């Protein structure tokens, strides 16, 4: 397994301008939300046959062990800094596919949920590459689930929104205002920098007491969570030192987590009392 975290731009330019073998294949693979066990069998098989793996910052690097013969290139963003711009990633996909064979583009969550997977596949197809998509477990559903928060629950929520917190223009999506007016669960990805705006929109429609949870590094060992209401969530964020990458979940379903914990505690209390009486 060869690691090439930051090939310089001269290397990329030289590769792009080099005559290629015909053919080449791109497989866009969803790596799941973070827990390395939350990856599909099909995704593992794709990695095992990869000649090159281009992976993002949200990908758990433990997954790279499934591609022992592949060249590894980190193309993600960390602390606001891009290793490569999207156009450069597109060119890198095509150049490596035509010079090496099978390129796996490994993305966190599901590549078709705010992952730009479709854009990369279109670019590859226009340049004659075979393209394959392997879906992943989306963080929008699995991260709340790991904290016992369902996105739907009978009597509480009949539907859910999944919205990007930051649009192409680096602004809050207008859909958040629409979602705030509904009774649906609202899941916002990439929204931490816009949290004050999100809170303001929900307050405007009288939802100050609506439950909200923010989960950082969901499904990973360093996962953190803050739970509150629209009125106090910003204080919870400060108290728990929450930051990106995080998912915001808003709606009555958030209460399920507390209810489940209370039921568990009640059961354990009853069982411990039974043991006490038996021993007595």
- Phi, psi (rounded to 5 degrees) for 71: -80, 135
Tokens (6 digits) for 115? 């992952």
B/e letters for 9-23, b = 16+ CB within 10 Å, e = fewer, are: eeebeebeeeebeee
Q: What angle do CA 83, 36, 41 make, to 5 degrees?
A: 105
- The answer to whether 38 and 59 have CB atoms below 8 angstroms apart is no
Whether 190 is catalytic is yes
Q: Which of 35, 51, 56, 110 is catalytic?
A: 56
User: Catalytic one among 35, 190, 192, 207?
Assistant: 190
56 catalytic residue (yes or no)? yes
Residue tagged active-site, from 1, 5, 69, 77: 77
User: CA–CA separation, 272 vs 269, rounded Å?
Assistant: 5
- Token pair in block for residue 9: 């731009």
Identify whether the C-beta of residue 8 lies closer than 8 Å to the C-beta of residue 27. Answer: no
Q: Which residues are marked as active site?
A: 56, 77, 190
């Amino acid at each position: 397994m060869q690691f090439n975290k930051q090939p310089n731009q001269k290397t990329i330019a030289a590769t792009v301008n080099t005559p290629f073998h015909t053919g080449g294949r791109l497989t866009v693979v969803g790596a799941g939300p973070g827990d390395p066990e939350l990856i599909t069998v099909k995704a593992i098989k794709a990695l095992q046959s990869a000649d090159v793996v281009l992976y993002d910052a949200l990908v758990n690097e433990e997954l790279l062990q499934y591609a022992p013969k592949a060249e590894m290139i980190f193309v993600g963003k960390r602390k606001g800094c891009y290793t490569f711009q999207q156009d450069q990633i597109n060119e890198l996909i095509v150049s490596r596919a035509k010079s090496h064979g099978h390129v796996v583009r490994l993305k966190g969550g599901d590549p078709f949920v705010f992952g730009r997977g479709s854009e990369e596949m279109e670019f590859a197809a226009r340049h004659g590459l075979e393209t394959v998509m392997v879906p992943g477990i989306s963080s929008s559903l699995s991260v709340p689930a790991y904290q016992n928060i369902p996105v739907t629950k009978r009597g509480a929520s009949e539907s859910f929104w999944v919205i990007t917190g930051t649009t192409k223009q680096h602004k809050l999506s207008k859909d958040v205002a629409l979602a705030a007016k509904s009774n649906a669960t609202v899941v916002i990805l990439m929204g931490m920098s816009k949290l004050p705006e999100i809170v303001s929109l929900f307050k405007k429609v009288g939802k100050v007491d609506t439950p909200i949870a923010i989960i950082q590094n969901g499904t990973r060992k360093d996962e953190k969570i803050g739970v509150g209401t629209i009125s106090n969530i910003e204080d919870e964020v400060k108290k728990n030192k929450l930051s990106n990458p995080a998912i915001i979940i808003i709606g009555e379903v958030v209460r399920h987590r507390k209810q489940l914990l209370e039921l568990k505690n009640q059961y354990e209390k009853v069982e411990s009392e039974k043991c006490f009486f038996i021993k007595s």
